């Protein structure tokens, strides 16, 4: 039995009795647009919020604001849409 | 900055999505992970929460109870390594699955490491974190540590006044002071309480049970501390190697109360 199986067997064996989830509302309590609320809060502490919708727009913003040296093809992007 | 490997902890892992979440206020974890070729994340198995919709509650609980912030400055979600990077997640058991079997102590696994119990603990606030000689200090450390090594950490459950402030502030409702009391019983039953400590506790119990003796001992101790403090404050007493005792009051509260009550 490898360590993974050992741990899973111990967890299964020692399971506490199931308890009901507490009554918690997971719905937002504020009906305002959360993105705009966040951008406004960010602005209040000196930041700048930019609403973008795809990776290309992020690339363009980074290029315009920070690099200004041409296309960012050479930079590795963490998320490929 | 030039290291090729970054090791982070994990605050929460979401079973539904397979992602891990690392919370920092400084961005240190993000800097390390984004620069390194290899990311190793180490997490206790109790960090797993069922769904992403539960994450918001835990993130809010953590920051609010730790520093009073609405949310940590960086709450970074890692779902996969970036292109060219390797990512490893190490799930640590280290006695946790065994702890699950104990109805008296399993609640300690709910801890989200906010530190609220430390901030409120009158013992921790006086003694500081290093005096706990365990990676996790404070009341929660005092109930986690004996589970790993009862002999080595037998003193920790006694480092408490059992005032219950830790349980009162705990955002995940761990019965910390009850567990401290239970650990004391377990340690005593397992003969892990030293002779000196046992004698000291028995002496203290006798003093506290007799008001006349309590008053006399209080007077004697105040006289010693005011006139010849070196009898207590010396190198043989480990407490004084790094700390000073506050100046003792001239009179006890009982004396002060009696005098002021007469005056009115």
H-helix or E-strand spanning residue B251: none
Give the number of residues written for chain A: 81
Choose the mutation target among A1, A10, A24, A73 for the interface with B, i.e. most B CBs under 10 Å.
A10
**What is the tens place of the pLDDT at every residue in B97-154?**
999 999 999 999 999 999 999 999 999 998 888 889 999 999 999 999 999 999 999 9
- pLDDT per residue over B171-208, tens digit each? 999 999 999 999 999 999 999 998 998 899 999 999 99
Q: What is the pLDDT of residues B42-101, one digit of tens each?
A: 999 999 999 998 999 999 999 999 999 989 999 999 999 999 999 999 999 999 999 999
Q: How far is A64 from chain B (nearest CA, A)?
A: 22
Packing angle, helices B195-209 and B211-227, rounded to 10: 120
Q: For the purposes of burial, counting CB atoms within 10 Å of the CB of B160, is it exposed (0-12), middle (13-18) or buried (19 or more)? A: buried
Q: How far is A11 from chain B (nearest CA, A)?
A: 5
Residues of A with CB under 8 A from a CB of B: 3, 6-7, 10-11, 13-16, 24, 26, 76-78
Over its C-alpha atoms, chain A yields an Rg (Å, rounded) of 23
CB B105 within 8 A of CB B59: no
> Is A10 in Cβ contact with B93 (below 8 Å)?
yes
Q: Please say whether the beta carbons of B46 and B67 come within 8 A.
A: no
């Amino acid at each position: 039995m490898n360590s993974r199986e050992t741990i899973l067997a111990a967890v299964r064996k020692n399971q506490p009795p199931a308890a009901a989830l507490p009554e918690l509302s997971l719905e937002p309590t504020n009906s305002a647009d959360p993105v705009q609320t966040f951008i406004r809060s960010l602005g209040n502490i000196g930041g700048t919020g930019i609403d973008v919708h795809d990776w290309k727009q992020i690339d363009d913003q980074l290029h315009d604001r920070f690099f200004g040296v041409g296309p960012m093809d050479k930079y590795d992007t963490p998320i490929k849409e | 900055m030039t290291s090729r490997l970054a090791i982070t902890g994990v605050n929460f892992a979401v079973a539904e999505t397979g992602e891990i979440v690392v919370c920092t206020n400084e961005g240190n974890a993000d800097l390390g992970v984004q620069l390194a070729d290899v990311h190793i994340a180490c997490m206790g198995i109790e960090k797993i929460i069922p769904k992403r919709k539960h994450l918001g509650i835990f993130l809010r609980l953590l920051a609010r109870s730790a520093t009073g912030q609405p949310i940590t400055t960086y709450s970074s979600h890692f779902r996969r390594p970036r292109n060219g990077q390797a990512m490893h997640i190490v799930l640590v058991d280290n006695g946790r699955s065994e702890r699950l079997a104990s109805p008296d102590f399993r609640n300690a696994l709910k801890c989200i490491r906010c530190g609220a119990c430390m901030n409120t603990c009158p013992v921790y606030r006086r003694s500081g974190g290093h005096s706990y000689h365990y990676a996790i200090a404070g009341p929660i450390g005092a109930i986690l540590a004996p589970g790993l090594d009862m002999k080595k950490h037998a003193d920790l459950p006694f480092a408490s006044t059992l005032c219950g402030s830790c349980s009162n502030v705990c955002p995940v409702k761990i019965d910390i002071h009850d567990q401290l009391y239970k650990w004391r019983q377990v340690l005593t039953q397992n003969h892990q309480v030293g002779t000196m400590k046992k004698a000291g506790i028995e002496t203290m119990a006798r003093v506290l049970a007799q008001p006349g003796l309590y008053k006399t001992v209080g007077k004697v101790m105040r006289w010693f501390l005011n006139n010849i403090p070196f009898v207590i404050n010396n190198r043989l007493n480990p407490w004084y190697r790094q700390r000073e005792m506050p100046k003792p009051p001239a009179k006890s509260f009982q004396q002060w109360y009696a005098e002021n009550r007469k005056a009115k």
